[in-house]
Amino acid sequence: MMGDIDDVVLNFSPASLTLLNVILCVVMFSIALDLRPDDFREVARRPKSFLAGFVSQFVALPALTFLLIVAMEPRPSIALGLMLVAACPGGNISNFLTHRAKGNVALSVSMTAVATLICPIATPLNIAIWGSLYGPTREILRATQIDPLSVLYTVTLLLILPMALGMTLNARRPDLAAKVRRPLRIVSMLIFVGFIVAALAANWAFFLAYVGQVAGLVVSHNALALAAGFTIATLLRTGEADRRTITIETGIQNSGLGLILIFAFFGGLGGMTVAAAFWGIWHAVSGLALASWMGRREPVPA
């Protein structure tokens, strides 16, 4: 008989957490091999589109997540898991999906890069604000006593440092970066997927027992994220290619980072872990389906 999902802790060793950290660093390093300073200048060239993406991802999504939780009243650990995913930056596959959707890839890359740079501050800030506003999640935050500086350190070490190293290599040795870029990305993503599969296998009975409690919420949450991106981009009258980009960037979250934060600061709390893990599966499915549908038609030029 399975216990309450709020009390269950997954079978996940410290060695496994270290491996997950290394994998995420390699993934970020491989992505950064595509980044150049010009990608950040794209923000200055398209301030309206970047503003729409920033508001959608770091303001609207966390706020809408809070409203969804208030309306649905899920178990506290599940609620905090959804808040944590909403507070993370865009996911690693958003650039690929934007390309498939015939969106603005340069804008997607710049949004991912800037979101990654600001997430050491924005992610813990959003968790603290929205988590403390909802009574049940506030109790979890009090019990865990998260140190914002520790979150800042962890996110910086896992995301900012490998991104800086990848960009430096691309700038100084573009020939070497070009050779290792594609193989490294493929290998790192395969290892990451394999790791998630292995972690699920080790906790399969638990996952099957509780996934029903989060599946509907995660699907609704992801749909809300995609709708937020589309709506805000439409209200700010961005071009169609940019609107597709912002929609995907808001709906594809870095759930891998979310899992690391859950195991590092919340002890692998059951509901949070299942919510983040199912998000990692579902957003890839929904994102690929949406991008394929969008890509069937060329965007109207701005």
Question: Which pLDDT belongs to residue 232?
Answer: 95
With CA atoms as reference, report the closest residue to 34 among 106, 116, 100, 104: 106
Alpha carbon separation from 257 to 126, 254, 260 (Å, rounded): 15, 6, 5
* Strand-pair partners of 269: 9
What whole-number distance in Å separates Cα of residue 89 and Cα of residue 250?
Answer: 9
Global pTM reads: 0.82
Per-residue confidence band for 194, with pLDDT thresholds at 50, 70 and 90: confident
Please list the alpha-helical segments (H only) found in the chain. Answer: 14-32, 37-45, 47-55, 61-72, 76-87, 94-100, 105-133, 135-144, 148-155, 161-172, 174-202, 204-235, 240-251, 255-265, 270-294
| Domains of the chain, earliest start first | 14-294 (1.20.1530.20)
Report the first-to-last Cα separation within the chain, whole angstroms. 58
Model confidence over 114-173: pLDDT tens digits? 888 788 888 888 998 999 999 999 988 887 766 667 777 777 777 778 888 888 888 888
Question: Which pLDDT belongs to residue 231?
Answer: 96
Is the pLDDT assigned to residue 200 strictly greater than 70? no
Question: Which pLDDT belongs to residue 1?
Answer: 41
Q: What is the largest CA-CA distance in the chain?
A: 58
